[in-house]
Amino acid sequence: MRFGPSSLPSRRSLLLRLALLFLIGGLWGGFFVLIKIAVTDGVRPVNYLFWFTLLSGFWLFVAANIRGMRPRYARTHWRYYLRLGLVRFTLANMILYTVQGKLPIGLMAVIMSFVPIFTYLISLITRIEKFFWLRTGGIVLGFLGAILIVAPESSLPDRSLAVWVLIGFGAPLLHAVAYTALSEKSRPAKVDSLTLSSGTLLAASIFAFPLAIALGEFQLLGWPLSRGEIALVAHSVLAAINFYAIFELIRIAGPTYMTQANFLSVGFGVAFGLLLFNESHSLIVWISIGLMLLGVALVNWRR
């Protein structure tokens, strides 16, 4: 089979899309590993939150300037950055980093995949989205999967983990609140996604710093860096790369194509947990994971 000159660019474009998709999914799944390493190695969750948002925001700020995108910091922009940073990064990630120290990596990856389910549910309640039976069925399946995890006594190795599972759902819920309350309509004009992410992360660090001080968790990064601090810094660098990859994939393939990374991140997260931490799940948990992923697929149907 021969490929003419016109077919080569399309093949390269397809390979680039797939490469970016797997890169994003792999990084998302890997982030749970880095968070687990850090918070179980002595890095306190809110201290992790402060340094992660500060460093990631800084790397993106540098990347934006290299690309000639001057970040905007007018009052209008700061209002948006602060609101989005508080809900999506400060509050949501504080829950994520705290709970990740208690739950298996694979389970937390599945919980975070709930973002589109919560987003559609909130959009239905606030009448932003129209009612569709198929997508609503996805919400029902997702919640059935969640109930299967926390209700039966045999689902989790320790029944006290059920409380942390419920708390963990607060992270995707807050992400969904941010997506619906701070939609594209309220986004400041003439702000690209790269500089928006930088401003939002830096704004989140403004909230995280006094929070870390108040909770007695703030600590300067030492030298040489501990194992947990290395994981933290690696997370901040890889997250900046991930943000850039997301923007590139959306640019060349669209946001709907990019949502497939959610499923890959769950697969990578579960695989990393099994391979690196010898995690194991009961049959009930595997069934619940399947139900929740099916629910996410239905909610994203023809999105």
Is position 182 within any domain?
yes
Question: In this structure, is residue 188 part of a structural domain?
Answer: yes
Is residue 156 classed as helix, strand or coil in its secondary structure? coil
71 contacts: CB under 8 Å, gap ≥ 6: 61, 64, 65, 195, 198, 199
**Number of domains into which the chain is organized:** 1
**For residue 194, is it within any domain?**
yes
Q: Is a pLDDT exceeding 80 seen at residue 185?
A: no
94 falls within a domain: yes
Q: Determine, yes or no, domain membership for 290.
A: yes
Q: What is the Cα–Cα distance from 95 to 117, expressed in whole angstroms?
A: 18
CA nearest neighbour of 138 among 300, 303, 302:
300
Identify the pLDDT of residue 96: 94
Q: Which domain holds residue 149?
A: 7-299
Indicate whether 164 belongs to any domain: yes
Q: Report the run of H or E that residue 96 belongs to, with start and end.
A: helix 92-100
In a domain, 1, yes or no: no
Q: 242 burial class (0-12, 13-18, 19+ CB within 10 angstroms)?
A: buried
Q: How many Å apart are CA 100 and CA 165, to the nearest integer? A: 10
* Residue 238 and residue 54 in contact, taking contact as beta carbons nearer than 8 Å: no
Q: What is the pLDDT of residues 198-217, one digit of tens each?
A: 999 999 999 999 999 999 99
Asked if pLDDT for residue 91 goes beyond 90, the answer is yes
User: How does residue 121 score in pLDDT terms, banded at 50, 70 and 90?
Assistant: confident
Contact 160, 88 (CB under 8 A): no
DSSP state of 103: S
Quick check: is 2 in a domain?
A: no
Indicate if the pLDDT at residue 164 is higher than 70.
Answer: yes
Nearest to 86 by CA among 175, 187, 195: 175
* pLDDT per position as a tens digit, 238-276: 999 998 888 788 778 776 677 778 778 888 998 999 999
| CA-only gyration radius of the chain, Å | 20
pTM score = 0.85
